[in-house]
């Protein structure tokens, strides 16, 4: 699963990294949690842009926003069939930019679990696969929400957790974000564990 991450890069760096049409709104949070707002990268009328959305996907048909408590992650193996995610999987895919994500590991002889920070070895932003939705509250407010897609852990992550976020390679960004990409087999082929060398694990100094 993925339940905590951080993002502290400047709007300029985010725009350059993801080749955005314009710089996004400034954002900084060393501890992004479900229900928090955070930037997502998506296609908007042919332009690649970053917008703020709330973590925890609320399907457009949902009458209860509390569903978001259970939809901040989506399993890549079933995302195309699950009622909460299948519509977004077809047309509303996004990238969730992260500096790092976090997991906690039990340590022999210690009561407190060790907080681990998983990031790119070279400091690049991680491009995590996600889905987004626009939900309308009973009062008529439009609320954009998103989920992070997970997959089975690679061998680097397996000692820590059996799941990990789907991290997209640069070659997958365009087809993943393009709403016109309709081949479910192509989309599903992107939802796999990333190579081990894409990540580095370290104890979080701020923990």
Catalytic residue, candidates 94, 103, 144, 194: 103
Secondary structure of the chain in the HEC alphabet? CCCCEEECCCHHHHHHHHCCCCCCCCCCEEEECCCCEEEEEEEECCEEEEEEEEECCCCCCCCCHHHHHHCCEEECCCCCCCCCCHHHHHHCEEEEEECEEEEEECCCCCCCCEEEEEECCCCCCEEEEEEEEEEECCCCCEEEEEEEEEEECCCCCCCCCCEEECECCHHHHHHHHCCCCCCHHHHHHCCCCCCHHHCEEEECCCC
Q: Of residues 2, 94, 133, 194, which has the active-site annotation?
A: 2
Task: Decide if 2 is catalytic.
Answer: yes
Could you list the active site residues?
2, 103
């Amino acid at each position: 699963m993925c339940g905590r991450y951080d993002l502290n890069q400047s709007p300029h760096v985010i725009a350059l990294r993801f080749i955005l049409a314009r710089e996004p709104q400034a954002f900084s949070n060393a501890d992004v949690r479900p229900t928090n707002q955070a930037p997502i990268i998506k296609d908007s009328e042919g332009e690649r842009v970053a917008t703020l959305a709330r973590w925890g996907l609320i399907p457009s048909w949902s009458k209860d926003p509390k569903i978001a408590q259970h939809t901040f992650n989506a399993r890549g193996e079933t995302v195309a069939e699950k009622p909460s995610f299948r519509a977004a999987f077809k047309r509303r895919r996004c990238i969730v930019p992260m500096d790092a994500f976090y997991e906690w590991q039990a340590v022999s002889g210690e009561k407190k679990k060790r907080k681990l920070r998983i990031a790119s070895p070279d400091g690049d932003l991680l491009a995590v696969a996600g889905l987004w939705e626009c939900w309308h509250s009973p009062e008529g407010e439009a609320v954009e929400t998103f989920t992070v897609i997970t997959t089975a852990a690679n061998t680097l992550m397996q000692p820590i957790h059996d799941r990990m976020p789907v991290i997209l390679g640069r070659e997958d960004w365009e087809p993943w974000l393009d709403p016109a990409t309709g081949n479910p087999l192509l989309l599903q082929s992107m939802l796999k564990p990333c190579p081990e060398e894409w990540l580095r694990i370290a104890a979080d100094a701020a923990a």
